[in-house]
Every structure is written in structure tokens, then in C-alpha cells.
Amino acid sequence: MFAIVVGLLGFTVVRFRYRPGRAVSPRTQAPRAELAYVLGLAVVVGVLLSVSFPAESRVDRLAARPALRIVAVASDWRWRFDYPQQGVAEVAAPPAPTNLVVPVDETIEFDLQSTDVLHAFYIPERDFQRQAIPGITNRFDLVFTRVGTAGSGVCNEFCGLGHTEMRFQVHVLSAPAFAAWARARRQGTAAL
Amino acid sequence: MSTATPVAPRPFDLLGAVAGTDHKSIARRVAVVSFGFFVLGGILALVMRAQLASPNARLVSTNTYDELFTMHGSTMIYLFVVPMALALGVYLVPLQVGASEVAAPRIALLGFWLFVSGGLTMYTGFLTTNGPGKAGWTAFDPLSDSPHAPGIGMDFWIFGVMLATLGCLLLGATILATIVAHRAPGMTMLRLAPFTWTMLVTCLMVLVAFPVLVVALGLLWVQRYFGGVFSTAGGPVAFQNLFWFYGHPVVYVMFFPFVGAVAEVVSVHSGRRFFGYKPFAISLLAFTALSTSVWAHHMFTTGQVANRYFALTSTALAVPGGIEYFDMIATLWGGSIRMRTAMLFALGFLVQFLVGGLTGIFLASPPLDYDVHATYFVVGHFHYTLLAGSLFGFFAGVYHWYPKFTGVLLSERIGRVHFVVMAIGANLTFFPQLILGYDGMRRRIANYPASNGWQTLNAISTVGSFVIAASVLVFLINVAVSRRAARPAGPDPWGGHTLEWATTSPPPRHNFATLPPIHSYAPLLDAREAVERDG
């Protein structure tokens, strides 16, 4: 697209460069050609949207019965992840990132909240972010498909002095490892 | 019409500088002051780029860095691009419609002084204990509320933006009133110059959007001292809605005047009547209508807006935008193109804005926006539209109209150097930012770890920003050299089409001794063609 326009522009500029005595074209409109072009643009817009909307539906789909619920609480300037079903909470003192521990291949419901200003939950490697808004719980679902550290998350809505350091680290565990981690965590023996 | 006598410099007129109501003098003052703010805002950017040149740098503290990006963005938007765009309109629109004066010149004068006091108020924040505003140019509540942004500096920021925006609102209103009520006999709406058409739609957007910002910031101040405005659960979202209802139309306020400048440059310097005048006007009106219903594409990631509606309206902008490109290229096609500096900047605008426009289509898609929202991809995108786009359009207009404004010609040779240096600098600075953002680098971070591998691209970007600064110096040198050389421009150095070229350079106090007959948007071209036809 870019190449077409720039190529056309470059060709035009060279082809119609100034020459003494060159007569300029008197033509000042081409309504039919321009209308056809507009219809073409409208088709392009339609195509873009028809790709974009289903993709959005996939990303924003919410499961009726997610396997796990995590309440993600953002506050100045740290993350806390509560696991109500497991009775576990993860929090760390910045600049250390908070651990976000999740089981592999399960649909996880995130309930995103903020206790003070706007923050945003962002995992660049997962191409996903959502704003954390005080007074509102923002729900979204994520599935992590590979065991290991699935990238580092950050706050991506400027929230003041500690914004740069407001991070979390995603750890994806197999189902038994996740259960073992939750059990150990509940008994106060942290094991990752 | 090139007499050999050099143009005599005017003696400085203090009363005129304070209270003169000639639209040309008001516009010149707005332009000079806002260019001063551009230089200030640019210096703030250079400090930021110096900090980001290497990972984990500690050139400035995080607190200072937050002040820097807040004041950089606020300066460039509220104090440079918007007032500069309107200054072009205040100067040129009365000339282009054949009026002797701007409508309500004393209102325009008030607008100038409100803008100046707004800028000074905002910068006074640097003198306060807690420093100036540091909640970003968007000042989202609750970050801008008193518990999170204590200190009078934030209040100075709020009042500074309110005053400057109110000033620009008044300037815009006088331009619109001039177009509506002060056109010369024969100057119908479909004979307005392309630039005047772009100013018409710009001022419509100013009138719709700017009051919303003034009120939203007034409410923000009430919230800071008395609470109760944005304290409810939906308050922070309401503030974002209000802010972006201003914040997206203003993007086009910072764009269309320069589209108009480029349209004039493209047609005059290729010796051809502007192609597709009516579709161009319709596309501007369509853009304006859409401009008030795209704001929430800044809020896709809030999960609190109707994403599809705003994705639809935002993507639909490609249609009127595409018409404008069509008309510009079709004007060049079949012309006799002279590669003067103005034309170089106009072509630079068309190419580089395209990068901004095409990356914008990415951002109009919610699922893609989830990935790159608020990253350097966005920073790169809007700098391609604003600096590599609007600023190039601005300089196209400067090289085109500077002879009219001052009566002297700028040096073409230095102008070409200016263009080349600036084009290199802009792309060195902002292309790496697109890649960094795609790689997940967030905006508004004071430093980044060495482990991400972002150092090289950031270093390139920093070098580029200093190249841009050098190009601005080249421009200032050009102005100084041309002032000294004082080569007289004559009334119409380029073979202009529109009425501003039908009077002396600079025009006299009341603009015109006589007006040519007006039968199209290009009365001067009509006259030349009539001479050729009739021998």
C-alpha cells in the first residue's frame, strides 16, 4: 500500500517535472474515476473490519465456567494477585515483580481492579492489555499454552512515580505443579 | 515586479505589539510566541531522548522525566501546533476571502493574550515546590487529583491549558466568522481557496471540541479542591470520555490546516488548478463529521466503550483521507512540477503522513490495539502524523507564504538543506520507535532494562532527535540570512492562484487596493489564462 502510493508519487514527480514551455493539463475533475476509487476504499474498510471484528470476538470471549479465577489488584505501584478458590495471594515489593502463577491450557478468569489511579494490565508477549479502573471490575479471560515463564507483565497506563517499576512475572505451570504450588503457598512454604 | 530596492526593516512598535488589531500582526505574534514554545518543547524532548539513549540511565530522576514528557506533550499540542495552525488561518483567511480585516479583531487580540498567559501560567509550574504538571498531557483523573498530584504546579497546568485553549477557541471563532460573513463579492463558498476550506472545517472542530476540554479541566480543578465530580465508580471513565471528545478532534485541528497548505503548494508549484475541488471539500466535511464520533478508539483497552462502533467510524476515516491523497496526486499528475523547497516539504508531508495514517489503521482495530496501545508504536504513529506530517506541511506553508508574510524570499539552497536534514532526522527518530513499540516498549517510562535489547534502536532514535534539532537551526539560519539579504519577493513570486497573491508583500493594513473579479477559487489563475487565451 505504502509502496504503491510512494511509487505513484515518485513517478508523477519525475514524469511531470518542470520543463520550459510544458503545457499543464486543463483537467480538474474525474468524478466517475473518483467515485469508483471511493467505492474501492469503502470495500477495503469493509474487509479490514470483517477481519478485525471476529478477531476481537475471539480475544474478548468470556468463558461460562473458567477453570480458575484470579483477582488482579493494581495499586500504587505494585500488583497483587488473589486466588480466591485457592485462598492464596501473591504480592511483591517493587522493584521485584509480583509472580503471576497460572496453570497451563486452562481458561483463567481475570477480575482486574484498581485501588487508586488508572493502571493497565499488559503482557507484551501475549499481545494483550486492559485498563484497571478504580471502582470498576474489568473481566477478561486468558489461556496460557506453554509451560515456563511466559513473559513479564507491566503496568501500561502512566500511574505516577513508580510506573516504570510496576511489573509482574508470568509463570505457567503444569496442572499438578500448579496444584502443588497452591498447596505449598497456602501452608506458607513458598515454592516456585 | 521585482524592483531592486531591498525591503526596509520595520522599526519596532511597542504599542502595536501589545494592542495592534491588524489580523496580520496578531497572527505574526501568535506564530512567533508559539514557535518559541516549539523550541522549548523540543528542548524538553531532547533531554528525554538523551536519557533514553542508554538503558538504566540516570541523567534525570523519574520525577523530572515525568515532568518532561508531560510538559513536552502539553507544550507541543496546546502551545505550538494548535495556535500555530490558527495563526496561519488568522493571517491568510481574510486575505484569501478578499476581506480587509478578520471578523472581531479585538476578540482575536484577546485570544492571543489568553494564549500567551496560558503558556506562561503552565510554565510557571517549574517555579513551584512540587514542579509543573506531571500527569501526562491527558491529565487523567484520578492521577491528576489532589492526593496523587499535590501542589500548585498541577493547578497552574490546568489553568494554563484552559487559558490557552480558550484563547485558541476565540482565534478559531474569528476565523470562522470571517469565512462566513466577510467574503468579498463573488467569493461563494465553492470558490474558497483550498486552505480556507481546511480552516473552515478546522474551526468547526475547534468550536465543537475546545469548550469540552475547558469545562472538563474546570471540573478537574473542582474535583481537586472539593471532590465529588469524578469520585463515583464511573468517574475516571467519564473524564476519559470528556478528554478524548476534545482529544480526537484536536488531532485534526493539528492536521487539516497543513493539509490545506500542502494542497495550495501542490497546485501552485505544479502550475495546475487544484484537482477534485468538490470531492476535496466533501471529504473535509465528512472527516469533520466523523471527527466527533471516533474519540473512544483511545479507550479500547478500558473495556468500557462500544469498541465496534468506534472501530467502524475510525476505520471509515480511510475513505475521506484517501480522497485527499487522490486529489493531491491527481493535481501533480499532468502538471509542470517545480521542485522548490515548499514542494519538497509538501511531498515529504504526503509520504511521511502516509506512514502515520497506515499505522493508524492498525490502531483502529481493537484486537491489534490491545497489543500496541500506549507503547512506542503509538508514540511513533502520532509523531509520524504530527512531526513528520503536520510539521512538514507547516514548513511547506512557511516556504510558500514566507515571501507574502515578510516581503522577502527565503534562500532556496538553505531551504533544501533544511528539508534533507529534517527528513533524515524525523525518520531516524520515529521509525525505530515503531519497532520498539511493536516489541512491547511502553511509553512514559523513565528508563528500561538492558536485557530487552532495545538499546541500539533507542540510540538511533536519540541521534535522530538531535538531527531534527539541527534542522530547526538550519531554518532559523535561513530566516536570519534572508533578513539580511532582503531579496524582495514582489506580490506574487510563484504564480499564485488565490487572492493573497493579488496584493503587495507584506499586504498593507487593509489588505487590498482593488480585487480582481472572482469566478473560481483561483482568480489569479483565471486572469492569467484569460490573457493567454486572448493573446
Q: What distance in Å separates the CA atoms of residue B56 and residue B387, rounded to the nearest whole number?
A: 27
Closest among B410, B326, B428 to B53, alpha carbons compared:
B428
Q: Which of B272, B326, B445 sits opposite A37 (nearest CB)?
A: B326
Residue A77: asked if its preceding bond is cis (omega within 30°), the reply is yes
Question: What are B413-440's pLDDT values in tens digits?
Answer: 999 999 999 999 999 999 999 999 999 8
Q: What is the pLDDT of residue B3?
A: 46
Q: Which residues of A touch B370 (CB under 8 A)?
A: 59, 127-130
Mutate to test the interface with B, among A113, A125, A133 (most CBs of B within 10 A): A133
For residue B364, the model assigns a pLDDT of 82
Contact A29 B277 (CB under 8 A): yes
pLDDT of residue A190: 59
| Shortest distance, CA A138 to any CA of chain B (angstroms) | 7
How far is the CA of B139 from the CAs of A1, B116, B244, B334, in angstroms?
36, 21, 11, 49
**Distance between CA A75 and CA A70 in Å, rounded?**
16
CB spacing of A140 vs B326 below 8 angstroms: no
ipTM: 0.92
Q: Which of A1, A18, A120 sits opposite B374 (nearest CB)?
A: A120
What share of chain A has pLDDT > 70, as a percent? 98
Mutation target to probe the B interface, by most B beta carbons within 10 A, among A34, A128, A167, A170 is A34
pTM as predicted: 0.94
Name chain A contacts of B444, Cβ cutoff 8 Å: 158, 163
Which among A24, A44, A53 is the nearest to B334, CB-wise? Answer: A24
pLDDT at B7: 59
Polymer length of chain A: 192
In this structure, are strands A68-75 and A107-114 parallel, antiparallel, or unpaired? Answer: parallel
Q: What is the pLDDT of residue B420?
A: 98
Residue ranges of A 80-119 with Cβ closer than 8 A to chain B:
116-118
Distance from CA of A189 to the nearest CA of B (A): 30
Taking CB atoms and an 8 Å limit, are A6 and B354 in contact across chains? yes
The answer to whether A55 faces chain B, any CB pair under 8 Å, is: yes
DSSP string, B275-300: TTHHHHHHHHHHHHHHHTT-GGGG-G
Question: Residue A29 gets which letter from DSSP?
Answer: -
- The closest CB to that of B140, out of A28, A118, A138, belongs to A118
Tell whether the torsion through CA atoms of B525, B527, B528 and B534 is positive or negative.
Answer: positive
List the pLDDT tens digit at each of the 535 positions of chain B: 444 455 566 677 888 888 899 999 999 999 999 999 999 999 999 999 999 999 999 999 999 999 999 999 999 999 999 999 999 999 999 999 999 999 999 999 999 999 999 999 999 999 999 999 999 999 999 999 999 999 999 999 999 999 999 999 999 999 999 999 999 999 999 999 999 999 999 999 999 999 999 999 999 999 999 999 999 889 999 999 999 999 999 999 999 999 999 999 999 999 999 999 999 999 999 999 999 999 999 999 999 999 999 999 999 999 999 999 999 999 999 999 999 999 999 999 999 999 988 888 888 888 888 888 889 999 999 999 999 999 999 999 999 999 999 999 999 999 999 999 999 999 999 999 999 999 989 999 999 999 889 999 999 999 999 999 999 999 999 999 999 999 999 999 999 999 999 999 999 999 999 999 999 999 999 999 999 888 6
B202 within 8 A of B255, measured Cβ to Cβ = no
Q: Name every chain A residue with its beta carbon within 8 A of the beta carbon of B375.
A: 124, 156
- The sign of the CA dihedral B75, B76, B82, B87 is positive
Report, as ranges of residue numbers, the positions in chain A whose pLDDT lies below 50. Answer: none
List of chain B residues whose C-beta atoms are within 8 Å of the C-beta of residue A58 = 367
Tell me how close the Cα of B215 comes to any Cα of chain A, in angstroms: 21
Quote the pLDDT of residue B357: 86
Asked if B347 and A9 count as a contact pair (C-beta separation under 8 A), the reply is yes
pLDDT digits (tens, 9 = 90+) for B152-194: 999 999 999 999 999 999 999 999 999 999 999 999 999 999 9
* Closest alpha carbon within chain A to B232: A135
Cβ contact (<8 Å) for A49 and B301?
Answer: no
Rounded to whole angstroms, the Cα distance separating B301 from A156 reads: 10
Q: In terms of C-beta density within 10 A (0-12 exposed, 13-18 middle, 19 or more buried), how is residue A23 classed? A: exposed
Instruction: Tell how far CA B313 is from the center of its chain.
Output: 23
Which residues of chain A neighbour B301 with C-beta distances below 8 Å? 120, 129-131
The shortest CB-CB distance from A18 to any of B338, B354, B444 is to B338
